[in-house]
Structure 1
């Protein structure tokens, strides 16, 4: 029977240095191939960052990008959720409100291929570059299509730490159009996309593509933007570094992300199916 493994990246599969144990991962991929199990990573980051992270294994795994705004089977696009030009302009206008900008360091427009910015904060862009490797300065929003021929899938903002993550996330949610949602991705990053876009949408796309049932899917996460995909299966696990209110709902792994906790659990799971 076909099965699916989906793991969040930062703070979950990756250690605090944004690395993972490659030897252990190669053992995981070998077992996946033998046992008809598909492996996927789910992240708020763009496809280009994920491919760079898994360069040696690009076509052997699957990618849920930008919290579910796009899904790739190896190097092939399976699904994407695009914003119209009008939607982007409307979203950008409300996010330029001074009430919100007081608490922001950076605003980014997230395309299929790159990430774009008008004004910039140098410190914030250094941090953003870890998750969005192709950053481009633009003079107007129209440049994204006219100069780079890219489609925008959503926006990201980076907070300046002046208020709590939950407060800023709710503040943004209160001012953006009802058809959009704001999801905190940790590290004071917030992704703003169509309200039906979520990592769980990516999980469901992969389940349908590979013909995998929810109970044959195992999911790993660590933060609020993982909630819906964690709730979508009976086999869901979170990290010891997850928020306390999540620990009362989901299974907590014995080992942290710095102890290869997810990889150890996946190996154990694969060896016993």
Structure 2
């Protein structure tokens, strides 16, 4: 029996137009509420951004945002895991001055931040994924915020190399992971979607295999490994996702998540 559903957003629940079949979801969501099945949005995205996709549902949807660093329930932040400011400053100085790279986003609880010097292309990319976003002249000193993640967009051909370089240089201090389509998330070690989701399941007395999980990228691996009812999206390009997930769902552009949920609800 399914007691909880966890889904990634970009490339998984959302289609290529960054939306979803709302009428179809509403019918499914009513069934989930009626059957007391938890619905968990687990994403690398910003908490405010995730909530914007599901207006008036704060009371019943649980949000795992910033790859597990933030939990939001009942319209409130329930827990936050953050980086020390001194370490974030070191990493940012390295990215800016050693690599001459301005194409990154610093993710905080109050807002996300990017440099005014970033390209217009990157700014447009950032606005697509961050509901609260501030442009700043400099990130030294850092903004007065609790800092949870750094996001980079480096291109598919460079992503794995840069992930390896960051993880070797800052071993045990950060974890760099590909979040799909050339994007990289720099996250807190041992904090991920899977570890945070496991804590929630334990709190709710839900067994891992009573969970239905969906993902398409490497930042979904720990979540997909939690349950035997895990689904890789057909559009995933990650071999690790295919190796970890137990099943395949139709693509995000075919409302694959909704199709699989319906098969469980109406079987």
Post-superposition shift, 1:76?
A: 1.6
1:165 equivalent among 155, 159, 168 = 159
Contact 1:94 1:176 in 2 (8 A): no
Contact 1:2 1:36 in 2 (8 A): no
**SS of residue paired to 2:72:** strand
Contact 2:47 2:63 in 1 (8 A): yes
TM-score (norm 1): 0.89
Paired residue for 1:120?
118
Paired residue for 1:190?
184
Paired residue for 1:75?
75
Contact 2:42 2:68 in 1 (8 A): yes
Post-superposition shift, 1:112?
A: 0.8
The reply to whether residue 108 of structure 1 matches residue 84 of structure 2 is: no
Deviates further, 37-46 or 242-251: 242-251
Show the 5 A alignment for 1:131-170.
131-138=129-136, 139-142=138-141, 144-145=143-144, 150-160=145-155, 163-170=157-164
Post-superposition shift, 1:240?
A: 1.0
Task: Structure 2 unaligned segments of length 5 or more: list them.
Answer: none
**SS of residue paired to 1:130:** helix
Paired residue for 2:45?
45
Task: Structure 1 unaligned segments of length 5 or more: list them.
Answer: none
Paired residue for 1:16?
16
What is the alpha-carbon distance in structure 1 between the residues aligned to residue 176 and residue 18 of structure 2?
Answer: 24
Post-superposition shift, 1:2?
A: 7.5
Contact 2:217 2:238 in 1 (8 A): no
Paired residue for 1:271?
266
**SS of residue paired to 1:96:** helix
Contact 1:220 1:262 in 2 (8 A): yes
Post-superposition shift, 1:244?
A: 5.7
- 1:172–1:244: structure 2 CA closer, same or farther, 3 Å change rule? closer
Contact 1:105 1:157 in 2 (8 A): no
1:218 equivalent among 212, 215, 225 = 212
The Cα offsets for residues 214-259 of structure 1, whole Å up to 9 and x where unpaired, read as 1111100011111111011111001111136233442343521111
The Cα offsets for residues 177-223 of structure 1, whole Å up to 9 and x where unpaired, read as 53210011113221112111111122123213322111111100011
Paired residue for 1:253?
248
- 1:230–1:236: structure 2 CA closer, same or farther, 3 Å change rule? same
Contact 1:63 1:74 in 2 (8 A): no
TM-score (norm 2): 0.91
Deviates further, 247-256 or 260-269: 247-256
Query: How big is the alpha-carbon RMSD for the aligned residues of Structure 1 and Structure 2?
Result: 2.0
The number of equivalent residue pairs is 264
- 1:244–1:185: structure 2 CA closer, same or farther, 3 Å change rule? closer
What is the alpha-carbon distance in structure 2 between the residues aligned to residue 143 and residue 171 of structure 1?
Answer: 24
